[in-house]
Chain A
Amino acid sequence: MAEQPYAIEMRGITKTFGSVVANKDVNLTLKKGEILALLGENGSGKTTLMNMLSGIYAPDKGEILVDGEPAVIASPEDAKRLGIGMVHQHFKLVDVFSAADNIWMGKSGAGFSLGRDRYQEVADTAKRFGFDLDPRKKVESMAVSEKQTLEIIKVLYYGAKVIILDEPTAVLTVQEIEKLFGVLRRMKEDGHSIIIITHKLNEVLDVSDRVAILRKGEYIGTVDTASTNEQELTEYMVGRKVDLNIDRPVVEKTRPLLEIRDLTILNDEGATAIDHVNFYIRGGEILGVAGIAGCGQRELCEAIAGLRPIQSGQMIHKGDNIVGLSPKAILDKGISMSFIPEDRLGMGLAPSLSITDNMLLKNYGDSKGPLVDRKLGRADAEHVIEELGVVTPSTETPVRLLSGGNVQKVLLGREIKAGPNVLITAYPVRGLDINSSYAIYHILNQQKQDGVGILFVGEDLDVMLALCDKIMVLCHGRMMGVVHAHKTSKEELGLMMTGALDLSNKYEDKPAGIARDTNIVPDQPEDEGKEA
């Protein structure tokens, strides 16, 4: 063989979980010194495939060649020995350990005692690859991007030549993503081979040399990045032509339905999560909330839904103060909140209960007598299944057995069924494939056209720019300003998200966030009277 062997070659890999085929006869090649993007929708088997490379799963069938030699990767230890390292989507770090200790604890033959030199050693590794890292810093006090850097250094320290990154950009801002890509390019020049898992097309085109595409566990093919484009990649990924435009219907806006004034909220640790924030939502508009993970979105949503006590400030719904009301009372006023947490099931749904039972979650108490009216729930379940096209064997199927897209449709369906006038939705498309995401956007737009005011907490700036009317940016709990979606740019939002740009005091005559076009000003007597 004259040709240089591949760094990694996977042949005919099949992996099943029960009857679910996660990977079917997948072939993948990784050249030395290239960046390969692994593209596919959620549930297409990207992570499963990579987990087999890093020794977490064993393939049911097929073989893996490393540097042209057949290899058995039965454990992460094996992978480490073969020079394969993976940076997982959810970081595997010990919070109370320093950066150096997190790296050092996985080192084989590190000896029994903790030497002082470990800090120097780790710092040297970081410097060698051009990273800036304080080896004594504890993980718990690190920002997300720092943690990711630490994970990458860890992998490099163990001498990995093949580095796999699972959705590394999901938690980063635009500027941080640029920085990460710079690092990846430098590593490539150093002779490392990199696989980056993602479903964001612009990133694929930006950073990769080749793109391998998976669809529903099957290997579709590998193309050179230089010779392809977004539309083509989407078709490979979804299997047919997809319209990538998101509608933004223009709807006549009503007066503000929900106004937040000077709101301050503490997080679970007692630190300020939301710091004197002002904004309002009108009927017939979608207000986006952008910010890096953990900048107070969750606390804000919980406070509005009455699940978290507030420190100070006012929340006014149609002229009534809702501060201090019970979650149920707020619900009855027509404020509906759905928050999709990272595990996607933790809040809003009871995973082991049936769709019917989940439909009843918020109104089971409305029926008379001590019994639960399941007929009502079943009718609602049937309605939502039909309206939103939920794929399920029956209304009595436990929600955890449904796929992610269907779970989220059930959740959103229940919220909409209640006929809210303010809909708060956080990460409604988290982890969904393109089709399901567009179905959700469509549902939100329909609600908007029906005059509902929508607060949309999102993570994909491209989507928010296309879908929202206005976007509010939070940074460490402080509002950096509200911008019109059609007048701003990703770069501007990115700067605001990191706190580098503060537009909240742009209009000096008006208080921050109570934007130009509100028709209720704080000192309007009509409102004050009602609050008292």
Chain B
Amino acid sequence: MRFHIVKRDAFPLWKRLSFYLGAVVIALLLGAVVLMAIGVNPVDYYWRMFTMGMVGNKIAYRAFENYLKVFVPLVVTSVALSLAFKMRFWNIGGEGQFILGAVAAAAVAFQAGPLLPEPLTLVLMCLAAMLAAGLYGVVTAVFKVKFGTSETLLTLMLNYVALYFITFLGETKAAWNFFLEPSSARPIFTSFSSLAEFPGIPIGKFHLNVCVILAVLIGVGIYFYLKYTKHGYEIAVVGDSIGTARYAGMKVNRIILRTVFLSACLIGLAAAFKVGTAGILSTAITDDVGWTGIIVAWLAKLNTGVIFLVSALIGVLQYGSAAAAATFAQVDSSFADMLQGAILFLVLAADFFTRFRVVPSAKGGNSNGNG
């Protein structure tokens, strides 16, 4: 029996959603097989994971606060990346831009924190992070528009430059290095949470961090920016057909520079949020959001609203697996990474099947479909 692939027509939304949901379920089943193989009851495990250990927990609000700390940098980074991706600028340098933003924010906290009132310090931290990350990102755009270099390669390589930079800061014990703990002989990063920390708005015992509100505002703002403004329109045209954009008299280079700068700035802001809630630098400060954000942006098909949804889900996977690890010591929290990978692949496969179907090749006679 031979098969061939046939393109589908309009596929109803509910069917498409059920395909995606099916993909997630299959991924979870695959995960269940792995869990059973190492002797863990998958139902129990998934229960712990998806409730993030909050059920029956007296300090569940704490867990939720911590979950939001994972969620905010991821969603802001994903939204920022989607901005560049919409223009078909493949910014895979989110990691590097995030690190530079984090270092800049921390530097401001250490230097300005003791001198200025805390709110002002926080604002300056955000601005510094945005500027540092924005410049780090826009360099690749400058090379692209001037010399036609590949932004994929440049942003990728700059990730490692940034990573080695923060590693250098973390491992170099010197008088100038104010990032490190002075009282320790070994080089370790020191905390500045007493100097600057994003405040929470108390709702009962739960504290809603202002970063969450800011993240939502950024999401709404970018949605509006892309959909209704002239800038957003230009991004859409440049992304769709660069020749057409030129032909319409758009200043394509300027649009690319501007958009990449904005995208990297927002990643810097995500880094400021992260640093300003953690109160300390770390070589693992990014939590891989520069990578995960790419996955989120694509799973959401660059739709800002869906990015929030997908980020929330990925956040649950990541935070939940960490929470579940408290009960199931034998399951490493990198199980979440595996699950995330499986979900990505299966959703992509589901995507294929929403657009095509596989039918047996028929020899005359029996028709398929509406013929």
Instruction: Please list the residues of chain A having a beta carbon within 8 angstroms of any beta carbon in chain B.
Output: 11-12, 14, 16-19, 21, 24, 58, 60-63, 74, 305-307, 326-328, 331, 337, 339, 345-353, 357, 360-362, 364-365, 370-372
B230 touches A305 (CB 8 A): no
How many B residues, CB 8 Å from partner?
35
B327-368 interface with A by 8 A CB criterion:
359, 361-368
A371 touches B228 (CB 8 A): yes
A351 touches B240 (CB 8 A): yes
B58 within 8 A of A: no
With A350-B244, A352-B240, A371-B230 as contacts: A18 and B364 at CB distance below 8 Å: no
**Which of B6, B247, B248, B361 is close to A16, meaning CB atoms less than 8 Å apart?**
B6
Q: What 14 new A-B contacts, CB under 8 Å, besides A331-B249, A370-B229, A372-B233? A: A14-B367, A19-B370, A58-B361, A60-B6, A60-B368, A328-B249, A346-B244, A347-B247, A350-B240, A352-B240, A357-B233, A361-B237, A370-B231, A372-B230
B22 within 8 A of A: no
B7 within 8 A of A: yes
* 8 tightest A-B CB contacts, nearest first: A328-B249, A327-B249, A350-B240, A18-B9, A19-B9, A18-B7, A361-B248, A372-B233
B204 within 8 A of A: no
B237 touches A353 (CB 8 A): yes
With A61-B367, A350-B240 as contacts: A364 and B233 at CB distance below 8 Å: yes
B301 within 8 A of A: no
Closest-by-CB residue of B relative to A57 is: B4
Supply 12 A–B pairs (Cβ within 8 Å), ascending by A.
A11-B364, A18-B8, A19-B370, A60-B361, A63-B363, A331-B249, A339-B247, A346-B243, A350-B237, A353-B236, A353-B237, A361-B244
Residues of B within 8 A of A346 (CB): 241, 243-244
With A347-B243, A350-B237, A371-B228 as contacts: A61 and B248 at CB distance below 8 Å: no
B207 within 8 A of A: no
**Which of B229, B236, B362 is close to A60, meaning CB atoms less than 8 Å apart?**
B362
Mark interface residues in B173-192 (1 if CB within 8 Å of A CB, else 0): 00000000000000000000
A14 touches B249 (CB 8 A): no
Looking at A331, A350, A370, the one whose CB has the most chain B CB atoms below 10 A away is A350
**Which of B9, B233, B364 is close to A61, meaning CB atoms less than 8 Å apart?**
B364
Closest-by-CB residue of B relative to A308 is: B246
A254 to B240, CA, bound (A): 40
A345 touches B241 (CB 8 A): yes
Residues of B within 8 A of A331 (CB): 249
**Which of B9, B231, B247, B363 is close to A327, meaning CB atoms less than 8 Å apart?**
B247
A328 to B240, CA, bound (A): 20
Question: In whole Å, how far is B367's beta carbon from the nearest beta carbon of chain A?
Answer: 6
B371 within 8 A of A: yes
**Which of A61, A74, A326 is close to B371, meaning CB atoms less than 8 Å apart?**
A61
A306 to B241, CA, bound (A): 18
B12 within 8 A of A: no
With A74-B2, A347-B247, A351-B240 as contacts: A370 and B230 at CB distance below 8 Å: yes
B369 within 8 A of A: yes
A18 to B357, CA, bound (A): 10
**Which of B8, B246, B359, B371 is close to A14, meaning CB atoms less than 8 Å apart?**
B371
Question: In whole Å, how far is A528's beta carbon from the nearest beta carbon of chain B?
Answer: 29
Closest-by-CB residue of B relative to A365 is: B230
